[in-house]
A and B are shown apart, each in its own frame.
Chain A
Amino acid sequence: MKILNCPLNGPRNISEFVWGGEMKAMPDPATATDAQWTEYLFLEDNTAGEITEWWLHAPTNYWFIARRNTITDEILETMTYDAFLARQQANASGEAEPAAKPATGGTETGATSA
């Protein structure tokens, strides 16, 4: 079975996880227009290639972030949401890190099974 590396629980069978879909920025519900809300709720990039996505480890109800290639089905890395935010901030302020390196410890590249 394919293995996903949960930042909280370590490597686990992928059947323990629920896919949350490609990451999207949520517009402010108080000010968003109907069109923006429609886009957030329903419309998808549906990217063929590398994506950043949400996963839930169901037994512990723990949400985290993975990068995965949707053509080869390779899980490139997994990380906590905090680590993801920290990396985004670092990228925004110009001190870009090498993309393949996870931002915090214990979240090495998720392994794939044969």
Chain B
Amino acid sequence: MPFALLKYALSREHPDDPHFRWKPDLKKTYDVIIIGAGGHGLAAAYHLAKDHGITNIAVLEKGWLAGGNTARNTTIVRANYLTPEGVAFYKESVELFRTLSNELDINVMYSERGHFTLAHTDAAMRTARWRAEVNKHMGVNSEVIDAAEVKRICPTMNVTDEARYPVLGALYHPPGAIARHDAVAWGYAKEAMKRGVEVHTQTEVKKILIENGRAIGVETNRGVIHAAKVMQAVAGSSSHVARMAGLKLPIKTIPLQACVSEPVKPILDQIVVSGSLHVYISQSARGEMVMGGATDAYGLYSSRSTLDFKESLMGHMLELFPFMGELRILRQWAGMADMTPDFSPVMGLTPVENYYIDAGWGTWGFKATPVCGKRMAECVATGRQPDLLKPFALSRFNTFDLVGEKGAASVGH
């Protein structure tokens, strides 16, 4: 980094390489095809190239680079999950995030803010206690604090008992962070392409070619391409693409909406989530209040925004942060979340040989981008399910061995 800066300072021209080394033409065959150029697909390509020396890879994207849920998420990164399997997995991701700017040579603006999961009921306090104990046991920094301590750390929050649902306490997770989501995806794309990986946008996979129970390639709007291995990482389109491979998934596609306010000077340091009120908020580096809640009430393939969402969000937000009454909404949007029944992802091997899946990321997959890329790459390269991914295999639904994370993932993301 310092040398690069020095080069910049002394040069009259722009000494940096172009970020993306696009190759316009598709080859006929690759070692690996990855469907979906969101953060997950790009991270997997990067780790296949860097850790496993597999560089003859095409990442196929029907739209533009990382324009799916990666571009729409509210960037909360944390490891304070509920199950030991979940905590171990997300913990590795948080560790990878901490050094990601160096790893990818791009500023992902990883910013540790501290993360509150507020409790307004005794039941929520119990869940907070449960999560704190599991977290501490697994070496993740989390503790239960009372309302006075919440107020001390976050003075702008209203914790009086005049609110409709007063704050009783919180699960406090100091490492909770936010990051610059686009830079994460672009960093992976840039570093993967530098190593020879091809990323093809405007290239939609329409069919998956299967011979004798093995994936052998895909058909796209730009023709047929063969590959030794095929991996899908398409978030909201997971069921649609998996069906092309003859697979039926435990997934419902449900919109998740979010919005930001106009930017203001720094006033809120922490990330604040309330599972009971179905709201969360953080302040971005630009000063915007980034806000969201739970998924919509029913399934839909659409990224429309609704007034109902904003009304219920703002009602609670104004009680928690009365100063928000002064702010105007600047933008609103939505993404299509691929929701599983246990609020855990689906990763790894499938019944189709040489076909790998990364799906079920719902409302919580941004934080997993680094670990998922690393471990899915390992899975694709070795053809074996890595230990860390074993609990999240698609086959868990056949053995009724679910990984119930609803208590930690339904609004917290």
- Is B253 positioned at the interface, with any CB of A under 8 Å from its CB? yes
Check A19–B398 contact: CB distance below 8 A: no
Check B239–A14 contact: CB distance below 8 A: no
> Could you say which residues of chain A place their CB within 8 Å of the CB of B19?
none
Check A43–B397 contact: CB distance below 8 A: yes
Check A45–B248 contact: CB distance below 8 A: yes
Check B300–A73 contact: CB distance below 8 A: yes
Q: Complex: how many Å from CA A72 to CA B400?
A: 34
Contact among B248, B304, B306, B398 for A44, CB-based, below 8 A: B248
Check B301–A42 contact: CB distance below 8 A: no
Q: Known contacts A38-B397, A38-B400; decide if A14 and B301 are in contact (CB<8 Å).
A: no
A34-B398, A70-B299 known; 13 new pairs, CB 8 Å cut-off, are A2-B308, A14-B297, A19-B297, A41-B341, A42-B341, A43-B248, A43-B249, A44-B250, A46-B240, A46-B299, A48-B253, A71-B301, A71-B302
Check B248–A15 contact: CB distance below 8 A: no
| CB of A4, distance to nearest CB on chain B (Å) | 10
Check A38–B398 contact: CB distance below 8 A: yes
Q: Known contacts A1-B307, A21-B252, A73-B304; decide if A42 and B397 are in contact (CB<8 Å).
A: yes
Q: Known contacts A19-B299, A70-B300, A70-B301; decide if A46 and B252 are in contact (CB<8 Å).
A: yes
Check A44–B249 contact: CB distance below 8 A: yes
List A residues at the B interface (Cβ < 8 Å): 1-2, 14-15, 17-19, 21-22, 34-35, 38-39, 41-46, 48, 70-73
> Could you say which residues of chain A place their CB within 8 Å of the CB of B251?
44, 46
Check A39–B248 contact: CB distance below 8 A: yes
> Could you say which residues of chain A place their CB within 8 Å of the CB of B341?
41-42
- Is B298 positioned at the interface, with any CB of A under 8 Å from its CB? yes
| CB of A90, distance to nearest CB on chain B (Å) | 28
Q: Complex: how many Å from CA A41 to CA B399?
A: 12
A-B Cβ contacts below 8 A, count = 60
> Could you say which residues of chain A place their CB within 8 Å of the CB of B248?
39, 43-45
Check A35–B398 contact: CB distance below 8 A: yes
> Could you say which residues of chain A place their CB within 8 Å of the CB of B300?
70-71, 73
Check B252–A44 contact: CB distance below 8 A: yes
> Could you say which residues of chain A place their CB within 8 Å of the CB of B250?
42-44
> Could you say which residues of chain A place their CB within 8 Å of the CB of B299?
19, 21-22, 46, 70
| CB of A112, distance to nearest CB on chain B (Å) | 12
1/0 contact trace for B385-412 toward A, CB 8 Å?
A: 0000000000001101000000000000
Q: Which residue of A lies closest to B400 (CB)?
A: A38
1/0 contact trace for B293-318 toward A, CB 8 Å?
A: 00001111110101110000000000
> Could you say which residues of chain A place their CB within 8 Å of the CB of B298?
19
In the complex, 26 of the A-B residue pairs with CB atoms within 8 angstroms, ordered by the A residue number, are A17-B297, A19-B298, A19-B299, A22-B299, A35-B398, A38-B397, A38-B400, A41-B341, A42-B250, A42-B397, A43-B248, A43-B249, A43-B250, A44-B248, A44-B249, A44-B250, A46-B249, A46-B251, A46-B253, A70-B300, A70-B301, A71-B302, A72-B302, A73-B300, A73-B302, A73-B304
Q: Complex: how many Å from CA A15 to CA B307?
A: 12
| CB of B236, distance to nearest CB on chain A (Å) | 10
Check A48–B301 contact: CB distance below 8 A: yes
Check B239–A44 contact: CB distance below 8 A: yes
| CB of A6, distance to nearest CB on chain B (Å) | 15
Contact among A18, A43, A48, A73 for B240, CB-based, below 8 A: A48
Q: Complex: how many Å from CA A45 to CA B240?
A: 9
> Could you say which residues of chain B place their CB within 8 Å of the CB of A14?
297, 308
Q: Complex: how many Å from CA A94 to CA B302?
A: 36
| CB of B308, distance to nearest CB on chain A (Å) | 6
> Could you say which residues of chain B place their CB within 8 Å of the CB of A43?
248-250, 397
| CB of A39, distance to nearest CB on chain B (Å) | 7
Q: Complex: how many Å from CA A42 to CA B394?
A: 11
Q: Complex: how many Å from CA A30 to CA B302?
A: 39
Q: Which residue of A lies closest to B254 (CB)?
A: A19
Interface residues of B in 244-293 (CB under 8 A from A): 248-253
Q: Which residue of A lies closest to B242 (CB)?
A: A46
| CB of B393, distance to nearest CB on chain A (Å) | 13
Q: Which residue of A lies closest to B297 (CB)?
A: A19
> Could you say which residues of chain A place their CB within 8 Å of the CB of B304?
73
Q: Complex: how many Å from CA A44 to CA B250?
A: 6
Check B302–A1 contact: CB distance below 8 A: no
> Could you say which residues of chain B place their CB within 8 Å of the CB of A42?
250, 341, 397
> Could you say which residues of chain B place their CB within 8 Å of the CB of A15?
297, 308
